[in-house]
Structure 1
């Protein structure tokens, strides 16, 4: 007969092996789960960081409600409400300003109309680099924020210095506004303070209201006369 050998060491070895295998499996699972959670946490941080760095707080101009898509440049108790939609890269808007800007400014300052200007970023994609319409609108709003009475001067200057698709640099925009108004809005222009309001509040409403610029609404009705005719808008307003 073979010698009687105890099976105890073998059993202990098997148990130890299974225990080691189980422990190794637990470690692997823990590492996998930890890696997934770490990666997810990193993604969340990166997305959050990207979101916070690429997004900007929506700051409306002073005296303007966060959801108000226009600047009110004059208020009339009983005169018509005139909404004007413009884009600072739009050549027709420059012509509109030249022909009708003074009339609208005078009517507003005389209290004969409530004038609401909607500075659109409609042609952002048409500049190279993209975004000039937003930046120019922001520059004008920066001037308004410092002194609402300077809006007209800033608007006129931006149209008089309207560039081609290359746009103007921040330094050039600052110079245009400074020369026209005497205001130093360099930091407001550089930081793009009102760009989120222009893009996220002004433009969505404009897209629902009109497809192009310049556009004039008189008491909510679109002006369909000849914008190329001097005095045509004033005449329509006086008949409203």
Structure 2
């Protein structure tokens, strides 16, 4: 008569299978937790003061300045029905842009205010990697756009003041940027600067178009054609505009 088979190996096998399944579930859970953790770091979960940001908006949401379409890579400071279109590409950390603003800024502002040109400003964050901490170009551009958002004509005093206060590679803190713009315009844009309100627009809309259209800063286009004259010579751009 045959002896009944022992069920012990079967029971052991079942428990082993359950243990293996539990181990697999633990590994999967650990992987998911790791992915969530590192994504939180990438999205800014590591925190930091407003003065040490790397040029990324605190919210990451793309907010356009008033009157600007989501895919529009410039601020239109004036519109003329019969005058030329003048596109200006600049970076607030660029020394040559400071020279350009000193030589041509007043003329361009007056031409715009008189309605003689359609003036489009492209504030670039091109030199963001050159500051310590990185991101000054974008933050300074955001500060100027914050002034524009309150009143487009206030772009001009904000731009002039930011170039006059142009720092070295150490940049300016958010509080210092706010002080520069506030004193030049009479506005209180500290919160807009601290939150980096327009940084996503500057980084994701302005810069890609500028990088594909120009070689660097400063660059001036007259009706889509690059101005090749001396940008550091006062009156040069105005003369070209009047001859257009």
**TM-score normalised to the size of structure 1?**
0.91
Shift of 1:44: 4.1
Output the CA distance in 2 between the equivalents of 1:182 and 1:20. 81
Residue in structure 2 matched with residue 88 of structure 1 by the alignment? 92
Residue in structure 2 matched with residue 178 of structure 1 by the alignment? 182
In angstroms, what is the RMSD of aligned CA positions? 1.7
Residue in structure 1 matched with residue 52 of structure 2 by the alignment? none
Output the CA distance in 1 between the equivalents of 2:33 and 2:237. 57
Output the CA distance in 2 between the equivalents of 1:236 and 1:216. 11
Shift of 1:48: 4.4
Output the CA distance in 2 between the equivalents of 1:26 and 1:216. 71
Structure 1: state its 5+ residue gaps. none
Residue 129, structure 1, aligned to residue 133, structure 2:
yes
Residue in structure 2 matched with residue 45 of structure 1 by the alignment? 36
CA deviation string 1:174-200 (max 9, x = no partner): 100110001111111111111111111
Residue in structure 1 matched with residue 10 of structure 2 by the alignment? 19
Shift of 1:81: 0.7
Residue in structure 2 matched with residue 141 of structure 1 by the alignment? 145
Residue 210, structure 1, aligned to residue 214, structure 2:
yes
CA deviation string 1:132-171 (max 9, x = no partner): 1011001101111122121001000000111111111111
Residue in structure 2 matched with residue 155 of structure 1 by the alignment? 159
Residue in structure 1 matched with residue 234 of structure 2 by the alignment? 230
Output the CA distance in 1 between the equivalents of 2:67 and 2:16. 64
Shift of 1:30: 1.8
State the secondary structure of the residue aligned to 1:111.
coil
Shift of 1:47: 4.6
Q: How does 1:37-76 map to 2 (within 5 A)?
A: 37-53=28-44, 56-76=60-80
Shift of 1:65: 1.0
- Count of residues in Structure 1 that have an aligned counterpart in Structure 2: 231
Shift of 1:106: 1.0
State the secondary structure of the residue aligned to 2:108.
helix
Q: Which has the higher contact order (CA 8 A, sep 6+)?
A: 2
Output the CA distance in 2 between the equivalents of 1:184 and 1:26. 66
Residue in structure 2 matched with residue 7 of structure 1 by the alignment? 3
2:105 aligned residue (98, 101, 104) = 101
Residue 28, structure 1, aligned to residue 19, structure 2:
yes
Rg (Cα) greater in structure: 1
Shift of 1:40: 3.8
1:219 aligned residue (202, 214, 223) = 223
Structure 2: state its 5+ residue gaps. 46-55
**TM-score normalised to the size of structure 2?**
0.89
State the secondary structure of the residue aligned to 1:175.
helix
Output the CA distance in 1 between the equivalents of 2:153 and 2:233. 27
Distance 1:128 1:48, change over 3 A: closer
Kindly report structure 1 stretches of 4+ aligned residues shifted beyond 2 Å. Answer: 43-55
